[in-house]
Chains A and B, each alone.
Chain A
Amino acid sequence: MRSALLQWLGPTPLSRRHALWGMALVAPNVLGLMFFFGIPVLMAFSTSFQRWNAITPPEFVGFANFRRLLADPNFHQAFLNTLKLLALVVPGEVVLALLVAVMLNQPLRARNLFRTAYFLPVVTSTVAASVVWTSIFQPRYGSLSNLLAPLGLGEVRWLVDPGLVLIPIAVVAIWQRIGFDMVLFLAGLQAIPAELYEAARIDGAGRWQRFRHVTLPLLSPTTFLVVVLAVINGFQIFDQVYIMTLRTVPGGVGGSATTLTYYLYRRAFTNSEFGYASAVALVLFAAILLVTVFQLRIQRFWVYYEAGET
């Protein structure tokens, strides 16, 4: 028994010592990770098959929570809202960040100053940012309605109108992500060899053609990373919804601003339906995983990797 254990650790006393050191070094973080995050991952599956209100003991209910999901109009709405928000946020942030990065990649004076301005929102807390944007989107006294007043739109109630409320939420999300994506794009742009542009120019390619046939294909691995991260982040939007609808109707009028994350939070911590909320969480996780896997599968159709890269 003892010798088997020793053999398992290593063939010589020196290698065993080495193995023990390695194990001791990784132990605190690994054990902490497994306890505080690994166990909850396993629990996430079991609780979604239970009914639990945090007071009486949990009760096993089989697939009841998932059957309820299928028939729950509020869940359908939250799912749809999440997709709509993704449709606004992902293209919005990626296109704007690419545009800014391409412009900042030119030889400019005050380049760092511009970069700082675009990056500043990234370091701001989403809660504080959402409070500020709530004020900007106020119907009468907000700065936006003041700017839009000449257009004669009348009083636009951005955060109350169920058809509009996702727009301010998307604006805050995009505003906070542009700088993040921009930094990744800038790193990608600077890795494109200048000779390629030179060669394209000698071949008579104009500015747009160089962008279209040199920049975009060579930048596509970066674009892929940015899009994948943007989607994952978009699925998790919570703070903006929580803060921006807090003063009117939490979750938006008629649930119009409720995203999946917000819905599971409310189900669990307002309605004490922890089992049901866990089922929603599982769907959220599955959706993120599926979309990410799908993107990995289709990347070969549009992402250009140079030989040797993977």
Chain B
Amino acid sequence: MRRLMSLRRSPAGGLSLPGQMLLYCALAAGALVMIMPFVWMASTACKPDVELNKIPVRWLPENPVCLGNLQQLYTTSPHFNRYMLNSALVTAGRTLGQLITCSLAAYGFARFRFPGRDVIFALCLGLLMVPFQAILIPEYMLIRKLGWLNTFRALIIPGTFSAFALFLLRQAFLQIPLEIEEAAIIDGANPLRVLWHITLPLSVPALAAFAVITVQAAWNDFLYPLVVSSTPDTRVVTIGIALLQGERRTPMNLLMMGSFLATLPMLALFVLLQRYFIAGISMGGVKR
């Protein structure tokens, strides 16, 4: 991870001045395309209705009405804040749950021998190969059978178990030299104390990287909540936006305002914890 962050001398050799200019121009043009939708989102979110249908298109609002549109959004979608809160709850629940169940299990698989261990671990890894869409229907049937439709249980509890996190954390724990833990075990500490006082503190970068990836995936999850929740009190923000989009009368500026609000927490998180996002992806190579 460190290496990714550090500026390194180019292996390809120095570029001539025109070459450098070309490189900067190409990179800047690409970056502009990547950023453009965010600019369009923020600018449209602040446009008054009359500016939405002007030709040529206004890139920036002439008379910005950001707060007015925000109020308008709450009139159109009165529970929007509730949806944001629900998303936050689901995200926090899943992330904390995964941190607990997966670090316990990862520690168990990394440091203990017991009958059937390798078979069980292989079974868990096998689940990684199954795309969620392939089990969407039986998952729905299971949740229905449990009577969990339209509950936070459905949105949170299955998401607290993860084969991916188990795999990543086990890898991280295996990196820690055994001798450090053994010293504590000889002193009579039980495995939970060793995990809590030694293994976890030594794995903070890996835990943080895994946590931001989990937070991001949980906040942005759409298909699963779409299937298991259909009432306003358990509705998450991605569904809230889809409802606004589905209502043809919703004007563009309010749609963009909603999208902006739903995007903001993840953008803020990313700006603050960028290196953990990058590390999480390089570590796993898989997003789940």
List A residues at the B interface (Cβ < 8 Å): 8-9, 15, 18-30, 32-34, 36-41, 43-44, 47, 54, 96, 100, 103-108, 111, 114, 116-129, 131-136, 138, 140-143, 146, 149, 175, 178-180, 183-184, 186-187, 189-190, 192, 194, 196-197, 201, 207, 210-211, 225, 229, 232, 235-236, 238-239, 242-243, 246-247, 261, 264-265, 268-269, 274, 277-278, 281-282, 284-285, 288-289
A38 to B122, alpha carbons, bound, how many Å? Answer: 13
Cα distance, A13 to B120, chains bound together (Å)? 23
Decide: A135 and B256 in contact? CB cutoff 8 A: yes
> Is there contact, CB below 8 Å, between B277 and A119?
yes
Contact between chains at A264 and B136 (CB < 8 Å): yes
- In the bound assembly, the distance between CA atoms of A29 and B8 in angstroms comes to 41
| Chain B 148-179 near chain A by CB (<8 Å), digits 1 or 0 | 00000000011011110010000000000000
A-B contact pairs, 18 of them (CB 8 A): A19-B112, A23-B114, A26-B108, A29-B104, A30-B124, A32-B160, A37-B139, A103-B27, A114-B27, A116-B274, A120-B270, A141-B57, A142-B57, A143-B36, A183-B282, A190-B4, A281-B133, A281-B134
Establish whether residues A30 and B120, one from each chain, have CB atoms under 8 Å apart when the complex forms: yes
The answer, among B111, B138, B259, for a CB contact under 8 Å with A40, is B138
B269 at the interface (CB under 8 A from A): yes
Assess A26 versus B12: contact at CB under 8 Å? Given A41-B135, A127-B238, A236-B133. no
- Are A105's CB and B12's CB within 8 A? yes
Complex Cα–Cα for A54 and B286 (A): 34
Interface residue SS majority, chain B: helix
A105 touches B107 (CB 8 A): no
Cα(A103)–Cα(B222), bound, Å: 34
Judge if B196 is at the interface, Cβ distance under 8 Å: no
Q: Which of B34, B142, B160 is packed against the most chain A CB atoms within 10 Å?
A: B34
Q: Which residues of A contact B262 (CB under 8 A)?
A: 125, 127-128
Q: Which of A54, A117, A146 contacts B57 (CB 8 A)?
A: A146
Residues of A within 8 A of B111 (CB): 22
**Is the Cβ of A29 less than 8 Å from the Cβ of B105?**
yes
The reply to whether B161 and A33 form a contact with Cβ atoms under 8 Å apart is: yes
User: What CA separation (Å) do A107 and B7 show in the bound complex?
Assistant: 7
Residues of B near A125 (CB, < 8 A) are 219-220, 222, 238, 262-263, 266
Q: Is B203 in the interface zone, CB < 8 Å from A?
A: no
Q: Would you call A238 and B40 a contact (CB within 8 A)?
A: no
Would you give the shortest CB distance from A281 to chain B, in whole angstroms? 5
- List 3 A-B pairs, minimum CB-CB distance, nearest first: A22-B112, A25-B108, A32-B161
User: Which residues 37-81 of B sit at the A interface, judged by CB distance below 8 A?
Assistant: 37-38, 40-41, 44, 52-57, 59
